[in-house]
Homo-oligomer: A and B are copies of this chain.
Amino acid sequence: MCRHCETRALSVCSPLEGEAFYGLQRLNHPVTFPARAVLFNQDSPARHVYTIVHGVVRLYKLLPDGRRQIVGFALPGDFLGLALADGYGFCADAVTAVSACRFSRDHFAEFADQYPTVLRRLHEMATHELALAQQQMVLLGRRDAEEKIASFLLALQQRWGRIHGKTSVTIDLPMGRQDIADFLGLTIETVSRTLNRMARDRLLVIVPDGVRVLDAAKLDKLASA
């Protein structure tokens, strides 16, 4: 029931009311995916668009020789298919079990043309994604391994904070070390070593499926340095 959806405030439907809200709700096909399920591939035609409700999705591109770059993690409230274009620009698969609102791309695009509010919101979300992507370019191009890890952890802490309504010193990391490595332009060994060095230096504690921040100030300094 969209009316009581806990991720509504974060999602594309946040500005909708009345007729527009119900109109979009009528187009919605709720779907779920088990962990590791593929939502779509880079080359496949973009038949659907999605809003993530629960769970985490990794978005990535592959080079012909198998190297992988994760371009983002989609969390609750995030929208997949912002471009409303014929093809997705990347692969998407579920890191955890995922539930999502699925819409036919054509129906959604038609709906967006009818309600400029939706198009405006979509553009707002797209430019926000663009800003994140540019921030990630700085991280990938100009930061060392320790700074990358610190930035990643704090950014994720903030995103979970917005989703849950309160920030926690425990940062959930549903994705594996290899995923973190492929997001930060590192290897799994460097991620592991860096996290464990941070734990040894009392910046954080490694807990099952996450970390707990001990020294936020030092992490902040690393992340912005």
Interface residues of A (CB under 8 A from B): 61, 63-65, 67-69, 71, 82-85, 89-90, 113, 116, 119-120, 122-123, 126-131, 133-138, 140-143, 182, 184-185, 224-225
Given A119-B123, A126-B126, A133-B130, A63 contacting B113 (CB threshold 8 A): no
A61: contacting residue among B84, B113, B138, B182, CB under 8 A: B138
Do the beta carbons of B142 and A185 come within 8 Å of each other? yes
Cα–Cα distance between A61 and B130 once the two chains are bound (Å): 14
28 residue pairs bridging A and B, Cβ less than 8 Å apart? A61-B134, A61-B135, A61-B137, A63-B142, A63-B225, A64-B224, A64-B225, A65-B225, A67-B142, A68-B142, A69-B141, A71-B134, A71-B138, A83-B127, A83-B130, A85-B127, A90-B134, A116-B119, A119-B119, A123-B123, A123-B126, A130-B133, A133-B136, A137-B140, A140-B140, A140-B185, A141-B182, A142-B185
Min CB distance, A107 to chain B, in Å?
17
